[in-house]
Structure 1
Amino acid sequence: MTLLIDKAEQALRVKGEQLNRRWYPEYHLAARAGWMNDPNGLVWFEGWYHAFYQHHPYSTQWGPMHWGHARSRDLLHWEHLPVALAPEGPEDKDGCFSGSAVVNGNELALVYTGHKFHGCPASDDNLYQVQCLATSEDGIHFNRQGQVLDTPAGLHHFRDPKVWKEGESWYMVVGARTEDTGMVRLYRSEDLRHWHDEGVLAVAPQGMGFMWECPDFFTLRGKQVLMFSPQGMQAEGYSNRNLFQSGSIVGHWQPGENFVQEVAFQELDHGHDFYAPQSFLAPDGRRIVIGWLAMWESPMPEQRDGWAGMLSLPRELTLTAENRLQMRPVKEVEAMRQDFSSWSAQTLDNQALCVMDHCETTEVILEWDRVGSDAEQYGIALEEGMRLYVDNQAQRLILERHYPQFGLCGQRSVPLPQTAALSLRVFFDKSSVEVFVNDGEACLSSRIYPDQRKLHIFAWSGKAVLNESGAWYLK
């Protein structure tokens, strides 16, 4: 263990004992203490799922990035492992930024961005971001191999490598920025150490962002999906309401050819808090994605409790025949279900009913009969702070949070699907809610900060009919 990693571990041991756990998640991955953002290096290696993440172990603020590390047999019960990377070399002296992991023979290889300034850090002219390699035989202790790809001439923002194997070659996409235009660049290697420039894979059209972070590139249903997080897209109506977005474009690509886009950019998650998703392949072939369940420049009340940031539920990705990317909770979450409580089918008529006295680690299922429901608003409410409801006038499903004491108020929404029934799976943890609409048609994920946890169902200005309703306690 290096000196800086040992120092980080000592700080985490002390700070971990001081956490206030009132909002600390029970079944989502969060750091032992300190700051967490982007998931990195999601991979299956020798019987374990590994999740690395951007981490500042010394405070609850973003700082010089380390790589936190945890592993799991089932994607839900996580064992924290020692910090994997610390900024301790000339190539990453100002931070070990985001990247990915691949299995190369009997080794686990981490490819990540070394962040460094040559001179005053106040100017991007002095910023250099290079791609680096670290390897491990046990999946716990990593040997730094140093820089493997330098910053291209004329670029300063050049980060977040995602590596995969295609035939006998390794490929890597890297997010980049030229002036105020985001792009994704492509590289090829035979050994993970020597990389050949394959040109620009995709570039942002007007209005699509000044930087494309955290690119991911994979195949579903014979199509290629470019998933990325554009910075600088302007809000338009109900779309792009967060500071930064995460989404995908679908098209066709094969080695040696250009990527041909076939559908427009689609947001992945429509809640307040979802960013920097990364995908990986499970041993059974599922494409699984995990994102950061937070948002830049959004208040994070848990910082006063000794920690900040968490990761989303793992979600299985699929692609529809219409080239729409869909997300569903991985099947493993069903193993957490305990003690189902049925609320029984009922009609609400301009009223609210308490259905749970304490909704904390819970999966709620609801199926609303839209044909038989004429209320102006109907849905569920967690005390005064969170509502998930149908607005019949706007014809939208709305996720609303109201925590004025923390500066967290506002709505996110999706159009109502054109179906007679509206089916919802809603996952509550101690400071999060994740909503899955009609088996993956849409997702909305947000951080919440309740002090009381009574859950109500309601219908106002009319009646609403439930075909099915109830909840599992999740253990």
Structure 2
Amino acid sequence: MEFLNIEKYTYLEEKHRGYLDQLKDFCKKSPRLPRYHIHPPCGLLNDPNGLCYFEGKYHVFYQWFPFAPKHGMKHWAHVISEDLVHWEWSEEMLVPDHEFEKNGCYSGNSIEAGGKQYLFYTANYKTKQGKVPKQALAVMEKDGKIHKYSGNPVIDGAPEGMSGEIRDPFVFEKDDSYYMMLGGSDLDGTGQILIYKSADLLSWDYRGNLDLGRQDLGTMFECPAYMEIDGKDVLLLSLIGRAAQEERFQNEFSTVCFTGRIDLEKLTFETETMEELDKGFDFYAPQMFCGKGGRPLMFGWFGCGVQELPYFREDMWQHALTLPREICIKDGRLYQMPAQEIISQFSALDIKRGQIIIPEENAWRLHLISDTECKTEIHIGESYDHLKIVMDPIKGQFIADRSCLKQKISEEYGTRRVCPLDTHKSVEVDLYYDNTFLEIYIDGGKDVMSLRLFPESYKVEMI
């Protein structure tokens, strides 16, 4: 088909429907579509937004530029599921069609109150002098219809001492009040978490910035997310400008998880642990929410920064969300594993050292238990074009190495990622592969790696 060159800051209107339908039909033929990862029908996907379980269904929104596989005018696309496996497209989405959001509906979360789901987002508003931060609200009714609040924006402008780079509201209820976290940067170029308070979700008072007790986290914070899990306060934070540290923080942008104790009166977070949330190549902007029965769940963006992945121009779609992950606290830190509903969808492989397997399906899972005294390798692909996974109990390392793949991805940020292991101890590893998307769960989800790979062959070899 003939692709149109649509201007970057164009929002979706009825006049675009015909072209968009053609584009969706074209993208359905892509040989690289995943089965179980939420992906865009066309164009580019990034941050998960507004995650919730509402009126008996899961609702996932995500940042979406419909017209091309590149960053542009962001909408909130919307998919719905009853089981976290089968997702249906919804036309009830956020389209940036008002003046106060003239440059896009940026990220945010949602909260249920009074039988309605309140969707908070950043209304991107650019001027010649710079950005004017605006936070906005839409409401989803019980019948699924969405309308924007007539009093938008609910927060207009930046507090004194802060730059215009303030975004990604995360709203939650605690101690009979509503709080909003916003990521931002101050005038000195240091990342900050802004805290607002409200009694009604409509009027918001700025309380100050959250003290994390450290100053080495970068120049800008994005996508804060907070939840109390198993008696611990958990804070997720996506970082811009965080310097690499040996094998850590190697990606363009990083995401960290804090556990500890938050004090919203003193505006402090007493940190007990801080870890990279995902030690792979392709992960950013996760969001936590409560699923059915209050179960803590999380999705992340299966991507990072301004990537140009192989085949994106010919496929006309780019990126996906991670699998839905169940999260819990063990030994004081966050653990992640795929939600139980999704695990059974993947065909299980069985492989032994010295074997080669060619999977019959392009979505499979593999459970491994490493040796305690010798190195084990898994290769996905051919000898001349493969991903190398190394479990080394002697050096105490788990390694994912993309250097032997022909199709290169963001080489400027390195070709391998390393996770430390206990030396001379066995470790259990679970791989979930979904047609170019790979999630690796180490030691029961103590550590996770998410990465893309595009080998010509998907055979699996254990060495």
TM-score by length of 1: 0.87
Query: Which residue does 1:18 correspond to in 2?
Result: 26
Paired with 2:233 and 2:424, the residues of 1 have a C-alpha distance of 29
Match of 2:362 among 351, 360, 363: 360
Paired with 2:283 and 2:397, the residues of 1 have a C-alpha distance of 20
Question: 1:75 is aligned with what amino acid?
Answer: L
Paired with 2:192 and 2:381, the residues of 1 have a C-alpha distance of 41
Match runs of 1:47-446 below 5 Å: 47-82=56-91, 84-118=93-127, 120=128, 125-138=129-142, 140-145=144-149, 146-154=152-160, 155-179=163-187, 180-202=189-211, 205-304=214-313, 305-321=315-331, 323-338=332-347, 340-343=348-351, 346=352, 348=353, 352-358=354-360, 360-371=362-373, 374-375=374-375, 378-383=377-382, 384-391=385-392, 394-401=395-402, 402-407=404-409, 410-418=415-423, 420-446=425-451
Paired with 2:387 and 2:361, the residues of 1 have a C-alpha distance of 12
Closer, same or farther: CA 244–163 of 1 in aligned 2, 3 Å: same
> 2:310, 2:409 within 8 Å by CA — same for their partners in 1?
no
Deviations 1:114-166 (CA, angstroms, capped at 9, x unpaired): 01113x2xxxx421121101112146432111210112244301100011122
Alignment partner of 2:93: what SS?
Answer: strand
> 1:108, 1:139 within 8 Å by CA — same for their partners in 2?
no
Shift of 1:244: 0.5
Closer, same or farther: CA 413–272 of 1 in aligned 2, 3 Å: same
Closer, same or farther: CA 140–308 of 1 in aligned 2, 3 Å: farther
> 2:65, 2:71 within 8 Å by CA — same for their partners in 1?
yes
Question: 2:123 is aligned with what amino acid?
Answer: G
> 2:349, 2:359 within 8 Å by CA — same for their partners in 1?
no
Closer, same or farther: CA 209–10 of 1 in aligned 2, 3 Å: farther
Deviations 1:368-392 (CA, angstroms, capped at 9, x unpaired): 2214xx24x5334333221211245
Alignment partner of 2:293: what SS?
Answer: coil
Shift of 1:57: 0.4
Alignment partner of 1:84: what SS?
Answer: coil
Paired with 1:285 and 1:418, the residues of 2 have a C-alpha distance of 37
Question: 1:386 is aligned with what amino acid?
Answer: L
Paired with 1:178 and 1:255, the residues of 2 have a C-alpha distance of 20
Paired with 2:35 and 2:344, the residues of 1 have a C-alpha distance of 14
Alignment partner of 2:62: what SS?
Answer: strand
> 2:349, 2:364 within 8 Å by CA — same for their partners in 1?
no
Paired with 2:22 and 2:328, the residues of 1 have a C-alpha distance of 42
> 1:8, 1:57 within 8 Å by CA — same for their partners in 2?
no
Question: 1:149 is aligned with what amino acid?
Answer: I
Closer, same or farther: CA 85–291 of 1 in aligned 2, 3 Å: same
Paired with 2:143 and 2:242, the residues of 1 have a C-alpha distance of 38
Deviations 1:323-371 (CA, angstroms, capped at 9, x unpaired): 2211111111233145x4544xx5x4xxx42123446200111112214
Closer, same or farther: CA 107–285 of 1 in aligned 2, 3 Å: closer
Closer, same or farther: CA 335–157 of 1 in aligned 2, 3 Å: same
- The reply on whether 1:448 has 2:453 as its aligned counterpart is yes
Question: 2:372 is aligned with what amino acid?
Answer: R
Closer, same or farther: CA 437–18 of 1 in aligned 2, 3 Å: same
Alignment partner of 1:440: what SS?
Answer: coil
TM-score by length of 2: 0.90
Alignment partner of 1:296: what SS?
Answer: coil
Query: Which residue does 2:8 correspond to in 1?
Result: none
Paired with 1:56 and 1:378, the residues of 2 have a C-alpha distance of 39
Paired with 2:307 and 2:102, the residues of 1 have a C-alpha distance of 27
Shift of 1:28: 0.5
Paired with 1:387 and 1:79, the residues of 2 have a C-alpha distance of 35
Paired with 1:302 and 1:68, the residues of 2 have a C-alpha distance of 23
Deviations 1:32-76 (CA, angstroms, capped at 9, x unpaired): 100110000000011110000000001111001111110111112
Shift of 1:301: 1.9
Q: How many residues align?
A: 440
Alignment partner of 1:389: what SS?
Answer: strand
> 2:283, 2:450 within 8 Å by CA — same for their partners in 1?
yes
